[in-house]
Amino acid sequence: METLELLKQLERILQCQLNRQTTIKRKLYQADTFLQWLCEAEKDICSITPSDIYRYLESKPFCRAVQVQNLQVIRTIFDIFIEKELIFENPASQVRIKHEPITRSYDLPTFEEIKAITEKIMKIESHLALRDFLMVELAYGSSARVGELIALNIEDIRLDDKMILLKGKGRGAAKERTVPITDIAIRYIREYCRDRISGPLFLSYRGKRMTASAIYQRFKYWSGRNPHIFRHCFATHLLSNGCPTDLISKMLGHERSSSTTVYTHICDSDLQNRINNSHPRKISFIADKN
């Protein structure tokens, strides 16, 4: 089977399973990377063993989560070959990704740093700067993901109720959530949408719906940071101020409360640092390095 034909069939399968084009593009890229590796290694895909797949995954600087994503794609590729009766067993089904404790380290901006970023944006008197301010405000003030900023329509905003409908990852109403918006967001949404009553909220300078890459570029331009960091700040700052984790989990659109526990670890680390820096007996809080 030719690589192009295989990728087209994989894309059809993904289109049936998913509705996020960014996810489909990522999986197709991962599949193409694996097939290129096979070609460079001069390996016949029909004779691949689990050891070959382990070797491929270990050859790439993937974290565990990305290894799992790649393994899922590879399994789908071999499922296609089984369906075509080119092979009779999926070698990827025998591959297991070893579970390792996840240690995450985030360099999160403080509230003062975020305030400085938004003030810097608002010093520019232009419609595009107003748009960029609102994207930052909704990421930090309402926990919006990049995909949710892209999908957000003017009709999804209820200014009188101070609520917006965010369309989360996945398909259907089950992935949607209604979250509050800040007073400052309401004020500037009214100004930004003064001449519009429907359609995409965030438009490019050409009047088209913003793309993921364009949003990443704007966040990078103003803050030097990934837009998802502002979502992390939303959760971490709420937690630091005593907001219950179940409420934060609902605001973030997490299906599992365990997904929110990463923010408790961040806050625990911050608490320990503050104690070490301010407690009069801080030396007893610091592990002996000898």
The Cα–Cα gap between 88 and 284 comes to 62
Neighbours of 267 (CB within 10 A): 15
- The answer to whether 123 is a known catalytic residue is no
Residue 223, CB half-sphere, CA atoms under 13 Å: how many?
29
Strand partners, 203: 209
* Residue of 27, 218, 231, 232 marked active site: 231
* Residue of 56, 140, 192, 263 marked active site: 263
- Cβ atoms of residues 181 and 163 within 8 Å: yes
* Residue of 26, 169, 250, 265 marked active site: 169
Nearest to 144 by CA among 162, 129, 165: 165
Instruction: Give, for all 290 residues of the chain, the pLDDT tens digit.
Output: 677 888 888 888 888 876 578 888 889 999 999 999 999 989 888 889 999 999 999 888 888 888 999 999 999 999 998 988 888 999 999 999 887 655 555 678 889 999 999 999 999 999 999 999 999 999 999 989 999 999 999 999 999 999 999 987 655 555 788 889 999 999 999 999 999 999 999 999 999 999 999 999 999 999 999 999 998 888 888 888 887 877 788 888 776 555 555 555 555 455 445 434 544 444 443 444 34
Q: What tokens appear for 109 in the block?
A: 């901006």
- The answer to whether 228 is a known catalytic residue is yes
The Cα–Cα gap between 72 and 30 comes to 10
- The answer to whether 127 is a known catalytic residue is no
Q: Phi then psi for 109, rounded to 5 degrees?
A: -70, 150
* Residue of 228, 274, 279, 282 marked active site: 228
Rounded to two decimals, what is the model's pTM?
Answer: 0.61
The Cα–Cα gap between 55 and 71 comes to 12
CATH number of the domain at 111-278, please?
Answer: 1.10.443.10
- The answer to whether 26 is a known catalytic residue is no
Nearest to 238 by CA among 133, 111, 105, 107: 111
- The answer to whether 237 is a known catalytic residue is no
- Range list of H helices, 152-224: 183-192, 212-223
C-alpha distance from residue 45 to each of 78, 170, 216, 255 (Å): 9, 31, 36, 37
The Cα–Cα gap between 264 and 268 comes to 6
Instruction: State the pairing for strand pair 176-180/157-158.
Output: unpaired
* Residue of 27, 145, 167, 237 marked active site: 145
Domain limits of the chain?
A: 2-84, 111-278
The Cα–Cα gap between 113 and 11 comes to 42
- The answer to whether 231 is a known catalytic residue is yes
- Cβ atoms of residues 203 and 134 within 8 Å: no
